[in-house]
């Protein structure tokens, strides 16, 4: 059985090593998607041959676009999403695996709650041989129970303007009237990050705690995971006193604010989202000014105090 309302948007680039396994996991869904749209970005390793072979006997329509020139991941996903005919779009990487009930569980939630515009789940991290690495991506990026509760309370934008916690391969979204606000994807954002920010601001994001994707980490990943939480925390502390990092974050927040300002309709949600982003932007400007005005030894003191707080990270979260 298939759900004609759903599409899978997949982008490939020299993914022959694991692509067949990913395609097979989609073909084995208990509820099949209505179609698979694949945009290949100039592969030269047999990826296109694997796609065409799968297309012959796939249990759903498969449409393949082969780019003449390399577009890059973000633009390629924008192209793939634009070609999807379903009302619900799943994003798929080329090297992961899907739980057999992923599409069914997502679609049940979408049908049960029309207000939900995007769903994201956790994923189990596996290695190149498909073996579990003993943790999930939510653990890797510190999507803690406290932050999960903020999602459930409709405050996902407050979380996402501070941290990139979304992985495209674990999400699906509903095509809505806000679609015109999504495109084009702006420079400086990953495709999944941008989609999540707009849905957090103008729609409603639901989360499923069950890992419904097996996220493969290997040496050729185009995007990966941060290291353990101690490394992540140390990195975050030093970023907090780097003017270039803060300025880049300010630019990104301003881009989001400018895009929200162009949205027509959804007036209440738009104003609420703009208030959240404006608050974050004000905080970043204050941080930037503080870093510029303080001597190095005072900045180092900020790092030390931040580290002391992070020693109690698990307890506080």
> What structural domains does the chain harbor?
2-216 (3.90.550.10), 229-316 (no CATH)
- Give percent of the chain above pLDDT 90: 72
| pLDDT for 232 beyond 50 | no
- The answer on pLDDT for 275 being more than 60 is yes
For residues 169-193, average pLDDT:
92
SS3 214: strand
* Model pLDDT, residue 315: 45
pLDDT score recorded for residue 313: 43
The mean-pLDDT minimum among 40-54, 155-169, 216-230, 248-262 falls in 216-230
Tokens 């759900």 locate to 3
What mean pLDDT comes out for the span 239-247? 67
Rounded Cα distance, 29 and 100, in Å: 5
Banded model confidence at residue 136, pLDDT cuts 50, 70, 90: very high
Lowest mean pLDDT among 93-102, 151-160, 239-248: 239-248
Q: What is the pLDDT of residue 264?
A: 84
pLDDT at 139: 93
CA distance 169 to 44: 23
Quickly list H helices, 141-262.
145-152, 156-160, 179-182, 191-202, 229-239, 243-261
Do residues 90 and 195 lie in contact, with contact meaning Cβ atoms separated by under 8 Å?
A: no
pLDDT at 118 over 70: yes
Burial class (CB in 10 A: 0-12, 13-18, 19+), 309: exposed
Check residue 294 and give its pLDDT.
56
Of the pLDDT bands very low, low, confident and very high (cuts 50, 70, 90), residue 54 is: very high
Provide the terminal-to-terminal Cα distance of the chain, rounded to the nearest Å.
42
Predicted local confidence at residue 211, as pLDDT: 96
% of residues, the chain, pLDDT over 70: 83
- pLDDT mean over 216-228: 63
Which residues are CB-neighbours of 156 under 8 A, at least 6 positions away?
150, 196, 200, 205
Q: Say whether pLDDT at 117 is over 60.
A: yes
Residue owning tokens 């190149």? 128
Q: How far is CA 299 from CA 6, 227, 285, in A?
A: 50, 25, 16
Q: 60-115 pLDDT, tens per residue?
A: 999 999 999 999 999 999 999 999 999 999 999 999 999 999 999 999 999 999 99
Average pLDDT over residues 177-202: 93
CA 291 to each of CA 39, 156, 177, 250, 301: distance values in angstroms, whole numbers, following the listed order:
44, 28, 41, 14, 12
- Average pLDDT of the chain, as a whole number: 87
pLDDT band at residue 194 under the 50/70/90 scheme: very high
Q: d(Cα 67, Cα 47) in Å, to the nearest integer?
A: 13
Residue 297, pLDDT score: 46
Of 292 and 254, the one with more pLDDT: 254
Please state whether the predicted TM-score (pTM) of the whole model is above 0.85: yes
What is the mean pLDDT of the segment spanning 153-181?
Answer: 92
Give backbone dihedrals phi and psi of 12, rounded to 5 degrees, phi first. -130, 150
The pLDDT assigned to 224 comes to: 55
**Residue with more model confidence, 189 or 3:** 189
- Split at pLDDT 50, 70, 90, the class of 317 is very low
Checking if the pLDDT of 236 tops 90, the result is no
């Amino acid at each position: 059985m298939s759900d004609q309302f759903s599409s899978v948007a997949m982008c490939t680039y020299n993914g022959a090593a694991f692509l067949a396994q990913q395609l097979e996991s989609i073909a084995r869904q208990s509820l099949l998607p209505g179609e698979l749209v694949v945009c290949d970005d100039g592969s030269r390793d047999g990826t296109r041959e694997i796609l065409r072979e799968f297309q012959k006997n796939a249990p759903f329509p498969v449409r393949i676009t082969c780019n003449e020139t390399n577009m890059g991941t973000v633009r390629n996903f924008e192209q793939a999403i634009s070609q999807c005919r379903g009302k619900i779009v799943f994003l798929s990487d080329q090297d992961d695996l899907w739980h057999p009930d992923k599409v069914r569980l997502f679609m049940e939630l979408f049908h049960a709650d029309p207000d939900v515009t995007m769903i994201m789940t956790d994923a189990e991290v596996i290695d190149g041989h498909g073996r579990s690495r003993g943790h999930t991506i939510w653990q890797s990026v510190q999507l803690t129970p406290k932050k999960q509760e903020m999602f459930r309370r409709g405050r996902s934008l407050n979380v996402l303007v501070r941290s990139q916690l979304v992985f495209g391969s674990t999400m699906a979204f509903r095509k809505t009237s806000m679609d015109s606000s999504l495109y084009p994807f702006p420079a400086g954002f990953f495709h999944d990050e941008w989609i999540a920010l707009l849905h957090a601001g103008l729609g409603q994001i639901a989360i499923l705690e069950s890992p419904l994707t097996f996220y493969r980490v290997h040496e050729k990943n185009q995007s990966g995971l941060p290291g353990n939480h101690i490394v992540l925390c140390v990195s975050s502390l030093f970023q907090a006193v780097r003017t270039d990092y803060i300025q880049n974050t300010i630019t990104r927040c301003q881009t989001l604010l400018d895009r929200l300002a162009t949205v027509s309709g959804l007036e209440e949600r738009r104003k609420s989202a703009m208030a959240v982003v404006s608050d974050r932007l004000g905080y970043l400007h204050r941080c930037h000014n503080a870093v510029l005005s303080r001597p190095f030894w005072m900045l180092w003191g900020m790092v030390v105090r931040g580290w002391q707080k992070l020693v109690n990270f698990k307890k506080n979260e």
